[in-house]
């Protein structure tokens, strides 16, 4: 049987559901939820089947990526683990609510997934290109969100010589909990502007908008707890940022990237800002309300809400106000979030 054709035909259902439920004594087959034990970390990571299909497995969530070589696009499905043992899970489709039960084992370095005595064998895989999605689950074509800070300068200094190579210097954006499990974990996606100091870079002053923005997806670490992030926009036109005084406005094309298709007004989110600025300069810049001469901390950070998540549709007109002077770290007005607003266009 050609599993690959079956998988491509499933479209919105977790690829392993094609085989049904396991009869293993180590598996919760009633789908009632609850955790007997966390799934073994031996099964975590990105796994590949036949080159066209990938599955990302972590402690709390599963994400599948099915590449259609004919259409040149990717179908993504999201699942939360509602119960588990060391070697099995009951997973629930985030969109449909359907549940399936799967049993795992290792065959050398390959992952075996068994359901109803049918087994699929996956090898370790690299994260696939998902910049072009086949469908949009929410039917939203464009999202615009604005982050108002207490103050933003016309330019920022990047690649300072006192900064460590590889360190993020500036970051502003929104985290979207698209698998809706109230966790920051694999399967989530973020849209943010950021800059990190790279090797052989040089110090310069530049507008924040020159740093560009991107779409970042959260992926499981291979056979280990935690997650990594990877950028996955195919074009800078997918996310555009403009600055108007102290407001950063992000315009996001929702029609192409498959993870963005899971975002709508009810998606759990949080907004964040971050600066790393060791050994701040003491010289005052004329005309600036705030700058490094006012700072004593190396890092500056804010978040809305302060903990957990909120939803745009829980706020009148999807406009949110943050308390002033409530930074998590530091003193920079450049990171003090004042207000956030969202607009979705179909």
The answer on pLDDT for 186 being more than 90 is yes
pLDDT of residue 315 exceeding 50, the answer is: yes
**pLDDT reported for residue 235:** 57
CA–CA separation, 314 vs 311, rounded Å? Answer: 5
Boundary of a domain, candidates 68, 98, 124: 124
Nearest to 293 by CA among 304, 284, 301, 302: 284
178 and 270 both lie in a single domain: yes
Q: How confident is the model at residue 33 (pLDDT cuts 50, 70, 90)?
A: low
CATH number of the domain bearing residue 22: 2.40.128.280
| CB distance 248 to 147 below 8 Å | yes
- The domain in which residue 65 lies consists of 3-124
Our count of domains for the chain comes to 2
Band of residue 241 on the pLDDT scale cut at 50, 70, 90: very high
- 171, 257: one domain: yes
Q: What is the mean pLDDT of residues 93-108?
A: 93
How many of the other CB atoms lie within 10 Å of CB of 202?
7
The answer on 168 and 89 residing in a single domain is no
Tell me if 130 is assigned to some domain. Answer: no
Collect all residues with Cβ–Cβ distance below 8 Å to 108 and sequence separation of at least 6.
Answer: none
Identify whether residues 150 and 77 lie together within a single domain.
Answer: no
Question: Which segment, 126-130, 198-202, 290-294, is predicted with the most confidence on average?
Answer: 290-294
| Residue at 129 is within a domain | no
Residues 321 and 187 placed together within one structural domain of the fold: yes
Indicate the pTM of the whole model.
0.89
Q: Which residue has the higher pLDDT, 237 or 109?
A: 109
């Amino acid at each position: 049987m050609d599993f690959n054709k079956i998988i491509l035909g499933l479209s919105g259902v977790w690829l392993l559901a094609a085989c049904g439920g396991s009869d293993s004594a180590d598996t919760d087959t009633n789908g009632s939820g609850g955790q007997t034990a966390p799934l073994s970390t031996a099964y975590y990571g990105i796994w590949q089947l036949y080159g066209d299909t990938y599955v990302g497995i972590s402690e709390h969530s599963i994400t599948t990526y099915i590449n259609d070589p004919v259409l040149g696009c990717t179908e993504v499905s999201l699942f939360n683990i509602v119960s588990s043992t060391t070697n099995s899970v009951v997973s629930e489709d985030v969109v449909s609510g359907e549940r399936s039960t799967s049993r795992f084992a290792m065959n050398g370095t390959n992952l075996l997934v068994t359901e109803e005595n049918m087994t699929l064998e996956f090898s370790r895989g690299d994260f696939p290109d998902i910049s072009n999605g086949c469908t949009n689950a929410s039917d939203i074509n464009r999202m615009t969100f604005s982050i108002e800070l207490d103050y933003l300068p016309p330019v920022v200094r990047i690649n300072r010589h006192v900064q460590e190579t590889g360190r993020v210097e500036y970051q502003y954006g929104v985290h979207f909990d698209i698998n809706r499990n109230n966790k920051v974990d694999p399967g989530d996606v973020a849209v943010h502007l950021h800059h990190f100091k790279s090797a052989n870079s040089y110090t310069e002053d530049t507008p924040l908008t020159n740093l560009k923005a991107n779409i970042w997806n959260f992926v499981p670490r291979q056979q280990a707890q935690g997650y990594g992030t990877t950028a996955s926009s195919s074009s800078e036109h997918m996310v555009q940022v403009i600055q108007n005084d102290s407001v950063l406005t992000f315009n996001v094309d929702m029609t192409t990237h498959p993870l963005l298709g899971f975002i709508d007004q009810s998606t759990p989110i949080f907004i964040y800002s971050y600066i790393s600025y060791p050994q701040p300069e003491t010289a005052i810049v004329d005309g600036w309300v705030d700058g490094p001469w006012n700072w004593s901390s190396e890092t500056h950070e804010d978040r809305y809400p302060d903990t957990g998540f909120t939803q745009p549709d829980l706020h009148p007109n999807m406009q949110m106000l943050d308390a002033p002077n409530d930074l998590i770290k530091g003193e920079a007005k450049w990171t003090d979030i004042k207000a956030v607003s969202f607009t979705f266009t179909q």
